[in-house]
Amino acid sequence: MENLKNYIDGEWVGSSGGGRFKTLNPATGEVIGDAPVSTHDDIDRAVAAAREAYKKWRLVPAPKRGEIIFRAAEALLKDKQRLGELVTAEMGKILPEGLGDVQEAIDMAYYMAGEGRRLSGETIPSELPEKDCKSVRVPVGTFALITPWNFPTAIPSWKILPALVAGNTAVFKPSRYTPICGTEIVRKLVEAGLPKGVLNLIHGPGGEVGEYLATHEGIDGVSFTGSSAVGARLAHMCSAPGKGISCEMGGKNAIIIMEDADLGLAVEGAIWGGFGTTGQRCTAASRVIVHKNVHDKFLEKFMAAAKKLRIGNGLKPDIDMGPLVSLEQLSKVEGYINAGLTEGATLALGGMRCSGGELGHGYFFEPTIFTGVKPDMRIAREEIFGPVVSVIKANDIADAIEIANSVEYGLVASIYTNNIRYSALAERDLETGIVYVNASTIGAEIQLPFGGEKKSGFGGKEAGGRGGALDMFTRWKVIYRDYSGRLQKAQIND
């Protein structure tokens, strides 16, 4: 049982209002911790501490900031097994995925530690003699970092680490479903020597705590990961004061399977994309668009593979799929099953909450496959965030791409084919931020930007590489230095 606290200005403290909320193991219903419900006063103090710490932190040489993050990476690596088990216990994903969640945070920590020595700009020749021209990256200020429950160590690392190495300070609010995991990453950074006030932690529900934090007058920028509806609301609320905001939001991702595909490989990809993390990923493949010539053969193999998935507590060995994170999420999935049936889709597999035995104590739901799905059905257009896959028939490559692009989201898409023309068309024409060829929609790597188009995201991208998170957490400053000792006028000949 973890009795959590906020972390404000270098001190672990309770909420000024005294309120608490519980966090549960979604596989067992067991209470595994409780956390403070932060008040506006708590947030005010956290923002004030971050703004005060910024005055000194921005002046710490970037390589020294990177060294602190490197030490945190070492601590995460050393404690990986325990932290992975904690992710599984608090969020529900199976242990191999829990360990992968932590490994992603480790990878990001090592990568961003190195960015402390790579925050490069440009030096450009001047058109005038005895004059320098250069651009440099500088920090933005104090950020609000708001993260979801489905990757409770990885996604916080995507935001916290680039923000800090760039010289910003932050107030971090993890999901109310995973406050223990959020606390752990803060502990590692504190143990690594992070000065007080640079990173502050507050707990509580998003509607009350997250919105007040994001719109706080002392916050210079917001990085949010969550639903498209909440992201759009935050963006609107932050637009008037002119805050920078980055939102990584939902997806209605598609796997296209062409008539020449390796069906065995495609089935593996569709199983992983649709049912990995119980479908609770923004990159989950909830649509599988199959060429009409191989539709029936693929469906037979896909259903046979889905029937073999073993459901249970992710801390136990040989489990393929854990629970949904909450009763609220389970009820949402059940609502979409009813919507699919109402609109005329065929429920080919699953569609029920698991009951009886140990599964009856948690939020388990069967792997579910709908067939006969039309692209305009709700189950084919709206993000479900559960183990529900719609199989849609396509006539040819053009039809498949049109179906894939027909939704409001544009995060990730995949195509299985051995035809170079098909793959080239998919790379060019799919309206998503990420495209996979002969791989599932799950598997982004941290050294390249992560993010989508349309309602899947706006503002800066996440992760590393050119156009990644550092573009969100820095601004460009251009500097001209004239050492000629006389007035020189650019573009003007005297």
Q: How far apart are CA 300 and CA 129, in angstroms?
A: 73
Q: Are residues 23 and 134 in the same domain?
A: yes
Please report whether residue 448 resides in a domain. Answer: no
Q: Are residues 341 and 307 in the same domain?
A: yes
Question: What's the whole-number mean pLDDT along residues 314-330?
Answer: 97
Question: What's the whole-number mean pLDDT along residues 8-20?
Answer: 97
- Structure-block tokens of residue 488: 């020189």
For 287, phi and psi rounded to 5 degrees? -125, 135
- Bridge partners of 124, per DSSP, are 133
Burial of 398 (0-12, 13-18, 19+ CB in 10 A): exposed
Residue 296, domain extent: 254-437
- pLDDT tens for 27-60 read 999 999 999 999 999 999 999 999 999 999 999 9
Res. 237: pLDDT tops 90: no
Q: Are residues 38 and 185 in the same domain?
A: yes
- Structure-block tokens of residue 131: 């004059």
Please report whether residue 446 resides in a domain. Answer: no
Q: Quick check: pTM over 0.85?
A: yes
Please report whether residue 205 resides in a domain. Answer: yes
The two beta strands, 388-394 and 368-371, are parallel
Q: From the candidates 282, 354, 366, 383, give the one annotated as an active-site residue.
A: 282
Please report whether residue 300 resides in a domain. Answer: yes
Q: Are residues 225 and 143 in the same domain?
A: yes
For 327, phi and psi rounded to 5 degrees? -65, -35
Active site residue 282: yes
For 444-480, give the DSSP string. --TTSEE--EETTEESS-EESSTTSHHHHHEEEEEEE
Q: How confident is the model at residue 241 (pLDDT cuts 50, 70, 90)?
A: confident
Please report whether residue 112 resides in a domain. Answer: yes
Active site residue 354: no
Of the chain, the percentage scoring pLDDT greater than 70 comes to 100
Task: Write down the H helix ranges in 147-227.
Answer: 154-165, 179-191, 211-214
- Bridge partners of 419, per DSSP, are none
- pLDDT tens for 130-187 read 999 999 999 999 999 999 999 999 999 999 999 999 999 999 999 999 999 999 999 9
Residue in 69, 71, 152, 76 with CA at minimum distance from that of residue 116: 69
Q: Are residues 146 and 16 in the same domain?
A: yes
- CATH number of the domain encompassing residue 70: 3.40.605.10
- pLDDT tens for 97-117 read 999 999 999 999 999 999 999
Q: Are residues 192 and 295 in the same domain?
A: no
Q: What is the structure's pLDDT at 494? A: 67
Question: What's the whole-number mean pLDDT along residues 379-383?
Answer: 98
Q: Are residues 263 and 180 in the same domain?
A: no
Res. 493: pLDDT tops 90: no
Q: Residue 461 to residues 150, 164, 360, 437, 472: CA-CA distances in angstroms? A: 18, 16, 40, 21, 7
- Structure-block tokens of residue 130: 């005895």
Q: How far apart are CA 469 and CA 487, in angstroms?
A: 40
Q: How far apart are CA 355 and CA 362, in angstroms?
A: 9
CB 101 within 8 A of CB 36: no
Q: Are residues 238 and 258 in the same domain?
A: no
Q: What is the structure's pLDDT at 1? A: 85
Q: How far apart are CA 341 and CA 387, in angstroms?
A: 16
CB 271 within 8 A of CB 302: yes
Please report whether residue 188 resides in a domain. Answer: yes
Q: How far apart are CA 142 and CA 473, in angstroms?
A: 10
User: Long-range contacts of range 32-35, CB-CB < 8 Å, 24 or more positions apart?
Assistant: 32/1, 32/2, 32/89, 32/90, 32/180, 33/1, 33/2, 33/3, 33/4, 33/90, 33/179, 33/180, 34/1, 34/2, 34/3, 34/4, 35/4, 35/5, 35/176, 35/179, 35/180, 35/183, 35/203, 35/204
pLDDT top residue among 357 and 324: 324
Provide the number of structural domains found in the chain: 2
Q: Are residues 298 and 430 in the same domain?
A: yes
Q: What is the structure's pLDDT at 239? A: 79
- CATH number of the domain encompassing residue 326: 3.40.309.10
CB 80 within 8 A of CB 185: no
Average pLDDT, the chain: 96
Please report whether residue 488 resides in a domain. Answer: no
CB 241 within 8 A of CB 442: no
Task: Write down the H helix ranges in 276-326.
Answer: 295-307
Helix (H) or strand (E) run with residue 274 in it:
helix 263-275
Q: How is the chain split among helix, strand and coil, in percent rounded to 5?
A: 40, 20, 40
Q: How confident is the model at residue 327 (pLDDT cuts 50, 70, 90)?
A: very high
- pLDDT tens for 249-292 read 999 999 999 999 999 999 999 999 999 999 999 999 999 999 99
Q: Are residues 234 and 358 in the same domain?
A: no
Q: How far apart are CA 168 and CA 244, in angstroms?
A: 13
Q: Are residues 156 and 214 in the same domain?
A: yes
Q: Are residues 218 and 274 in the same domain?
A: no
Q: From the candidates 97, 248, 259, 462, give the one annotated as an active-site residue.
A: 248
Please report whether residue 445 resides in a domain. Answer: no
Res. 395: pLDDT tops 80: yes
CB 441 within 8 A of CB 284: yes
Q: How far apart are CA 330 and CA 208, in angstroms?
A: 23
